[in-house]
């Protein structure tokens, strides 16, 4: 019998189309099969080694031998027709590793401060009230369209210093670009994403020109003024360049909007489906938010490239291999969570992996949590009798997980 670590070719293998309607509605049975098959399993449809176990997912996300950027010589060739999209991605901290990622992330964190975020709480609550005021007083309505979708895009627009009147365009561009990360990606989606990326970048360059002429107390102004203070690149007086600012603003809007829309929808659906007690006090709302993030997070699959040979969970990975971290599956690992398939809003809070962990831990997590606490707290305080008018259905968005619509009654 062989001894020692095994090559990834010898791993168990399972098949599941990520666009299969049954999987889109409920991916968790497949995650249970993956977890039972072993710590690492080859997902045939992706040709990708994945893990559904919390310990392995956490280890990979923390390990700097794994990264978002492909090692030299291993990344896919980018066709010229997709250049507009990847011109943004090439400067996005989400897709960077090492010193460049640390430099950019450090600069952005100095602008994206906890004080700035916490100061937005009254404004977010007031926005939630206004959106609820605008919902139909009678009959059924789509809570995603009327509440979950506009709230985060308006919040991030205001944070950036962009007039919320532009929110519909920002939303359109964001949805087009984020579709590039979905299993349903097609040439038509690629073309739309490139057009959106070019338009979004041009819009932000115009805003940056205005910001330089008349800076304000907003995130774009802070990014324009951001300077290195003895950082790793030695650029103590170096400013963020325009491409980095544009990519950062787009990342904050795309990632923050997509995640928060889905989580608000998933949260309300879970509460109403499971007849859970709606949270009304601050402590109860905070516990509810953490359970929602654990139970049905907005991002399910996050991939990493292997930057140097290593052994994980008894298997050998070579430089240039890839591994998929199933965040949603890790959040339902029974070795970590009692009754993981049950939605329990009063569950004692402990860390989950919905925002990742390690060097790429989601920079927008504090804002997302603040938005969720405000949105859900105000919603159930204002509409305690809220109930489903139709059975919720999830959209074909994988690697993401969110509802097509959520039709409810007061």
Per-residue pLDDT of the chain (410 residues; tens, 9 = 90+): 334 454 556 899 999 999 999 999 999 999 999 999 999 999 999 999 999 999 999 999 999 999 999 999 998 899 999 999 999 999 999 999 999 999 889 888 888 888 888 889 999 999 999 999 999 999 999 999 999 999 999 999 999 999 999 999 999 999 999 999 999 999 999 999 999 999 999 999 999 999 999 999 898 998 888 654 434 444 444 567 899 999 999 999 998 888 999 999 999 999 999 876 655 667 788 888 999 999 999 999 999 999 999 999 999 999 999 999 999 999 999 999 999 999 998 888 889 999 999 999 999 999 999 999 999 999 999 999 999 999 999 999 999 999 999 999 99
What is the H or E stretch that residue 7 is in? strand 6-7
CA dist., res. 200 & res. 177, Å (int): 10
What is the H or E stretch that residue 182 is in? none
For residues 257 and 369, is the Cβ–Cβ distance under 8 A?
no
The torsion angles phi and psi of 124, rounded to 5 degrees, stand at: -65, -40
Q: Which two tokens stand for residue 144?
A: 């995603």
Q: Which two tokens stand for residue 289?
A: 């938010």
Which residues contact residue 339 at a Cβ distance below 8 angstroms, ignoring those fewer than 6 apart? none
Provide the whole-model pTM. Answer: 0.91
Q: Is 354 helix (H, G, I), strand (E, B) or coil?
A: coil
CA dist., res. 100 & res. 108, Å (int): 12
The domain ranges of the chain are 6-409
Options 3.30.360.10, 1.10.10.10, 3.30.70.100, 1.10.630.10; CATH of 6-409: 1.10.630.10
The torsion angles phi and psi of 171, rounded to 5 degrees, stand at: -65, -45
For residues 398 and 378, is the Cβ–Cβ distance under 8 A?
no
């Amino acid at each position: 019998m062989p001894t020692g670590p095994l090559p990834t070719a010898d791993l168990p293998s399972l098949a599941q189309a990520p666009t299969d309607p049954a999987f889109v509605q409920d991916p968790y049975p497949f995650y249970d099969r993956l977890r039972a098959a072993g710590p690492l399993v080859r997902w045939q449809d992706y040709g990708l080694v994945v893990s559904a176990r919390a310990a392995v997912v956490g280890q990979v996300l923390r390990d700097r031998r794994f990264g978002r950027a492909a090692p030299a010589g291993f990344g896919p060739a980018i066709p010229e027709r997709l250049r507009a999209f990847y011109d943004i991605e090439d400067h996005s901290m989400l897709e960077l590793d090492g010193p460049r990622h640390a430099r950019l992330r450090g600069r952005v964190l100095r602008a994206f401060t906890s004080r700035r975020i916490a100061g937005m709480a009254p404004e977010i609550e007031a926005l939630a009230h206004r959106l609820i005021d605008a919902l139909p007083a009678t009959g059924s309505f789509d809570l995603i369209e009327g509440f979950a979708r506009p709230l985060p895009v308006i919040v991030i627009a205001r944070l950036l210093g962009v007039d919320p009147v532009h929110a519909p365009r920002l939303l359109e561009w964001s949805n087009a670009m984020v579709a590039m990360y979905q299993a349903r990606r097609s040439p038509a989606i690629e073309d739309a994403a490139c057009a959106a990326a070019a338009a979004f970048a041009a819009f932000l360059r115009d805003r940056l020109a205005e910001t330089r002429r008349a800076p304000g107390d907003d995130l774009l102004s802070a990014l324009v003024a951001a300077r290195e203070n003895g950082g790793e690149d030695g650029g103590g007086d170096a400013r963020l360049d325009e491409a980095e600012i544009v990519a950062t603003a787009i990342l904050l809007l795309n990632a923050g909007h997509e995640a928060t829309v889905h989580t608000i929808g998933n949260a309300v659906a879970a509460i109403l489906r499971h007849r859970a007690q709606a949270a009304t006090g601050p402590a109860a709302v905070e516990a509810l938010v953490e359970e929602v993030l654990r139970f049905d997070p907005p991002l399910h699959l996050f991939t990493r490239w292997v930057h140097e040979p290593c052994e994980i969970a008894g298997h050998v990975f070579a430089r240039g291999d890839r591994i998929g971290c199933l965040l949603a599956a890790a959040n339902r690992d029974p070795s970590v969570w009692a009754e993981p398939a049950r939605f329990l809003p009063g569950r004692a809070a402990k860390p989950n992996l919905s925002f990742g962990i390690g060097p790429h831990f989601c920079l927008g997590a504090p804002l997302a949590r603040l938005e969720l606490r405000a949105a859900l707290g105000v919603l159930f305080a204002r509409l305690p009798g809220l109930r489903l008018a139709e059975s919720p259905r999830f959209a074909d968005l994988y690697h993401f997980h969110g509802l097509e619509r959520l039709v409810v009654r007061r």
